[in-house]
A and B are shown apart, each in its own frame.
Chain A
């Protein structure tokens, strides 16, 4: 035997006008879904920046003049790029006061051709003796340096540890897979500088297309600052002391991403505020309508012994049912939409992306649900109060 109670009656009342209930749920779902997916997107970008910058470990990146944008794109989204400068730049950078550590990297863009390469990715040659990006990871995870024909790969490269990848006529063993960062590292393949030079040198004989990389050339210098150094002053000193180069700071990288999503953030805040206000007004209007339509029933319930408090709670419960359902639908649809369109969004905005930890995900779901439920309660407060204050006789007569 089912128990007749507040929750059952509220659910039954909502069944009565399924289309109206559906519309209310859809409006709340739109508001909750927009909030959930946009907050998730922004949070994921922030997390990716945090993890990615930590992995990069550098305060500054010195690249050839004119390659600031492609350097940033390679770091943020992993867009493959190739640019070179003379290896002597490394010593010039090291000589600048305030530079604590400097390590060169060589960028080689792989070819789309499957005969040449395992995917169109960024190949990065690093110097094992000075590197602070891959070497610490190797130390922790492999307890050794990379061999001549070995690489470590980013989390988005389609290969597993122990498998082989193929670039410019060379087969490489995958020694390890780096943790996801959401940034360019995920789509990069790391090998030692010597291996990279050898691959370039032999490409003329073994690859379908020869690489134009001369021994000693580098693409960038990663710099760690000394503790008491000001980033702006060091940037200026490098620009002055090392002509033909430009400097990308870690802050600039973050700012570049922040700038790209700032328009999106502003748009999202405006759209979501409008949708929430719309949904609040709609719920208030719908519940005022419900109270008017059900005056007689409210009067009857009061005649049967329902207290004002019961009527108030009944109306509030109906509103909360609808908004909670809207919240769940919004989270589901918003999350699914972000999952499906993530690649399009990140590539069109040029932003990094890393799903948040499960706890953050759960917290965000809880906050969205709470907001949806509180909105329902607030929007239906006045109609619920009005209904509870109806005099039973007047309610029954007005409903006739």
Chain B
């Protein structure tokens, strides 16, 4: 079902995120590229959603629009009933810090910080600094790295780095996780471990949006969407 161009004006209180006719265009030389075109989407709290599509179809741009990492050229992004682009930079930073956890295609660890400090990093920008150490250890246990707490990224394998990054995503107990290819380039076992963690946190009521190339990963979600040339459509079961 094609959702592009259909704005869902009514917003359910159960929706954690609502996109209202959002578009994103870029200027590339003299021409304009439409990365996302009039996408309307509503995601209920606690749902796991996957977005599939070819490279360059606009998946990552859409995910960034959802998380307020880039401003839409048109339309509104509403998270927890807040039109996020009406917020100041400080308010937007607090929203990202407290409500959203981002997981990127790359491990994205800071090389001069050890595993636990990398995990603690989001707490630096929030007000939960007192308990961050215990929480970080708890999360490193969750991702199976309790024996690598003080290892630096250069001492960890690619899979271990991704798991540390995932633990960091969960640090501030976000209610919404936006994951961009969270299992890309990983072996099957590590991919399965990470998907298990996603399932576990989703079962605790956390909303998860996963952008992926992998059918296997996408099939783990309760709802699958497809992105094609900037347009979003519901994928049939």
Task: Find out whether the CB atom of B70 lies under 8 angstroms from the CB atom of A394.
Answer: yes
Instruction: Produce 1/0 per residue, A128-165, CB < 8 A to B.
Output: 00000000000000000000000000000000000000
Complex Cα gap A394–B35 (Å): 13
Which one of B70, B108, B113, B125 lies within 8 Å of A392 (CB-CB)? Answer: B70
CB of A243 to closest CB in B, whole Å? 81
Within 8 A of B (CB), among A1-50: 1, 3-5, 9, 12-13, 15-16
Which one of A5, A305, A396 lies within 8 Å of B98 (CB-CB)? Answer: A305
**Chain A contacts of B117 at CB under 8 A?**
4
Task: Find out whether the CB atom of A393 lies under 8 angstroms from the CB atom of B113.
Answer: no
Any A CB within 8 A of the CB of B198: no
Which one of A4, A297, A303, A400 lies within 8 Å of B69 (CB-CB)? Answer: A303
Complex Cα gap A296–B69 (Å): 12
**Chain B contacts of A1 at CB under 8 A?**
133
Task: Find out whether the CB atom of A304 lies under 8 angstroms from the CB atom of B102.
Answer: yes
Q: A297-B110, A307-B93, A396-B104 are contacts. A302–B69 as well, Cβ < 8 Å? A: yes
Any B CB within 8 A of the CB of A237: no
Which one of A15, A297, A306 lies within 8 Å of B125 (CB-CB)? Answer: A306
Task: Find out whether the CB atom of B112 lies under 8 angstroms from the CB atom of A303.
Answer: no
Q: A392-B70, A393-B69, A396-B104 are contacts. A304–B122 as well, Cβ < 8 Å? A: yes
Any A CB within 8 A of the CB of B67: yes
Within 8 A of B (CB), among A292-314: 296-297, 299-310
Any A CB within 8 A of the CB of B64: yes
Any A CB within 8 A of the CB of B163: no
Complex Cα gap A201–B78 (Å): 108
Task: Find out whether the CB atom of A305 lies under 8 angstroms from the CB atom of B125.
Answer: yes
Complex Cα gap A308–B92 (Å): 10
CB of A135 to closest CB in B, whole Å? 69
Q: Identify the interface centre among B70, B129, B132: most chain A CB within 10 Å of its CB.
A: B70
Any B CB within 8 A of the CB of A391: yes
Nearest residue, chain A, Cβ from B94: A305
Complex Cα gap A53–B63 (Å): 79
Complex Cα gap A5–B113 (Å): 12
**Chain B contacts of A306 at CB under 8 A?**
93, 124-125
Nearest residue, chain B, Cβ from A11: B112
Any A CB within 8 A of the CB of B123: yes
**Chain A contacts of B168 at CB under 8 A?**
304
Q: Identify the interface centre among A1, A4, A309: most chain B CB within 10 Å of its CB.
A: A4
**Chain A contacts of B133 at CB under 8 A?**
1
Any A CB within 8 A of the CB of B173: no
Nearest residue, chain B, Cβ from A13: B112
**Chain B contacts of A15 at CB under 8 A?**
112
Task: Find out whether the CB atom of A3 lies under 8 angstroms from the CB atom of B129.
Answer: yes
Task: Tell me the count of chain A residues lying within 8 A, CB to CB, of chain B.
Answer: 29
Complex Cα gap A306–B71 (Å): 17
**Chain B contacts of A305 at CB under 8 A?**
93-94, 96-98, 122, 125-126, 172
Complex Cα gap A309–B110 (Å): 20
Complex Cα gap A252–B125 (Å): 66
Task: Find out whether the CB atom of A304 lies under 8 angstroms from the CB atom of B89.
Answer: no
CB of A385 to closest CB in B, whole Å? 13
Complex Cα gap A305–B123 (Å): 9
Instruction: Produce 1/0 per residue, B145-176, CB < 8 A to A.
Output: 00000000000000000000000100010000
Complex Cα gap A309–B69 (Å): 16
Complex Cα gap A263–B125 (Å): 55
CB of B22 to closest CB in A, whole Å? 13
Which one of B90, B96, B113, B120 lies within 8 Å of A303 (CB-CB)? Answer: B96
Q: A309-B90, A391-B70, A391-B71 are contacts. A4–B112 as well, Cβ < 8 Å? A: no
Task: Find out whether the CB atom of A12 lies under 8 angstroms from the CB atom of B108.
Answer: no
Q: A4-B121, A296-B108, A393-B64 are contacts. A304–B69 as well, Cβ < 8 Å? A: no
Any A CB within 8 A of the CB of B144: no
CB of B161 to closest CB in A, whole Å? 13
Within 8 A of A (CB), among B56-70: 61, 64, 67, 69-70
Any A CB within 8 A of the CB of B85: no
**Chain B contacts of A310 at CB under 8 A?**
93, 125
Any A CB within 8 A of the CB of B184: no
Any A CB within 8 A of the CB of B205: no
**Chain A contacts of B96 at CB under 8 A?**
302-305
Complex Cα gap A297–B129 (Å): 21
Task: Find out whether the CB atom of A303 lies under 8 angstroms from the CB atom of B67.
Answer: yes
CB of A234 to closest CB in B, whole Å? 73
Nearest residue, chain B, Cβ from A15: B112
Complex Cα gap A130–B71 (Å): 90
**Chain A contacts of B132 at CB under 8 A?**
4
Nearest residue, chain B, Cβ from A304: B122
Nearest residue, chain B, Cβ from A400: B106
Which one of B70, B97, B106, B110 lies within 8 Å of A393 (CB-CB)? Answer: B70
Instruction: Produce 1/0 per residue, B28-57, CB < 8 A to A.
Output: 000000000000000000000000000000
Within 8 A of B (CB), among A190-211: none
Complex Cα gap A72–B96 (Å): 75
CB of B162 to closest CB in A, whole Å? 14
15 contacts between A and B (CB under 8 A): A4-B117, A4-B123, A297-B110, A300-B102, A302-B93, A304-B96, A304-B102, A305-B98, A306-B93, A306-B125, A307-B125, A308-B89, A310-B125, A391-B69, A392-B64
Closest 10 CB pairs of A and B: A305-B97, A393-B70, A305-B125, A393-B69, A393-B64, A307-B93, A12-B112, A392-B69, A304-B122, A303-B102
